[in-house]
Structure 1
Amino acid sequence: MNSEELAWKIKRHGVDMTHISKGSHIGAILSVADIIAVLYSDILNYDPKNPNDDKRDRVILSKGHAGAALYAALAECGFFDVAELKTHYANGSRLSGHISHKGVPGVEFSTGSLGHGLSVGAGMALAAKKDNKAHRVYVILGDGECDEGSIWEAALFANHFKLFNLTVIIDHNKMQSLTFCEDTISKSPFADKWRAFGWNVIEVDGHNHSSLKESLQINSQNKKEQEAPTCIIAHTIKGKGISFMENNILWHYRTPQGEEYEAALRELEAIKPCEILS
């Protein structure tokens, strides 16, 4: 399955999952869908039939409130039955609202309390480096999450230990919870901060699959001699793909119901990739 097709399916599942469960966070799910799709279609080494393969690349979705996007990708890539996505957020379901690794193949670490994912990813990358293992670690951060001091502690750690095998991808949609990032805690100039912490920094359009793929492929070829970890700042739009959700702060917590649900489905149908149409 190519990345465009997978991204569309993630978005379609995301709308249904939040509609059925009446659980959030559809804006964040749509924001990160293209990033996750490119990773799972074009970049990662994994085997859905052997999810604990020691050679697998590791992905940590630190912005765990967008967990439905990762669940959808894993289901579509064969880690578990797609039909199970309909149980998202339901009592007793293993597909909890914030991403959980408990009993879910393909999920490396439970997140949701923001600021933890990069510390865990850096530890994984250091262990792999010490053991001379070839797999890579990818951590997907929210930009609002970068208010957390623990993110910057982990960034210092990763540079100090020259974790060339660690990549951070920031879903930079410029919004967090109930307002805009710059109205909460200004992080400008954002890219320069990561550079000052010793990271390679690449900025891309987070909805352009060619750009995402190119930046991730270049990074996946980083060798030990290059030493520095990499931060890819992916400029995105919260609610991407559904016009009335895009850049609308309401859709961090709001769920698609009634006429809004039907309108969301119509807009997604209008942008369905030709591979699915055929």
Structure 2
Amino acid sequence: MGAGRVLCGGEERTCASISLCSADCAGMDGKKCSVWMFLPLVFTLFTSAGLWIVYFIAVEDNKIIALNVPERKPGSKRPPYISIAGDAPPASCVFSQVMNMAAFLALVVAVLRFIQLKPKVLNPWLNVSGLVALCLASFGMTLLGNFQLSNDEEIHNVGTSLTFGFGTLACWIQSALTLKINLKNEGRKAGIPRVALSAGITLCVVLYFILMAQGIHMYAARIQWGLVMCFLCYFGTFAVEFRHYRFEIVCSEYQENFLSFSESLSEASEYQTDQV
């Protein structure tokens, strides 16, 4: 395992392996924010744009009905579910790429969010649960993108369950962490919109499965699109906290007198806590 030195708050700290460090950016410039705030925004905008491109390709190729059509007549084109829109090429090619990139960016946001909150939480189980839930939701996205509905329906549905189920759970966990930790006294500023979005997401998930069970597919498809857009908006709210932090990865040659990986991360976390 390689060794590294982590820079936090302007001081150099020694650690083993490649390490991540979050540091408060308030000391940089009161008017400037960390560039990391753009990561969740890029995720939201990129994924939203990609999914709508998939939708318009599918509509143009007469694969699905447009969302604004009042009713779906029996025997007409398929309802505009996201999975159906991305079921056949060329839309499926774009859909796979969008979902793979979205899964990667969501995973990065999840890890950075975990590192950001790690020195702040007294009981880490909630923070760990949030990380695990977001990781499973990200894995579900890869299943959605790479196993189209017509090719392997079972795996595709597993991906849907992971994404919507653990994604909803992660939203509630992050909302609770936001209000509880209150970073930079902005807990209410970011927490209240997240609670509202979490409630909207939960309502959409319930309505989606109810409408699906009753065969009301046009309304179910519209609910699904609204659900996904709420998810993406939720991820975009992480820019509020990310604008105060920078994350650095520094790698250097291994030396035997370096501290162990766990000891160095522990010291780095203590240092961050003292600096807040």
Instruction: Give the structure-1-normalised TM-score.
Output: 0.27
Instruction: Give the structure-2-normalised TM-score.
Output: 0.27
Which structure is higher in RCO with an 8 Å CA cutoff and minimum separation 6? 2
User: Which of these two proteins has the greater Rg computed from alpha carbons?
Assistant: 2
| Higher fraction of helix | 2
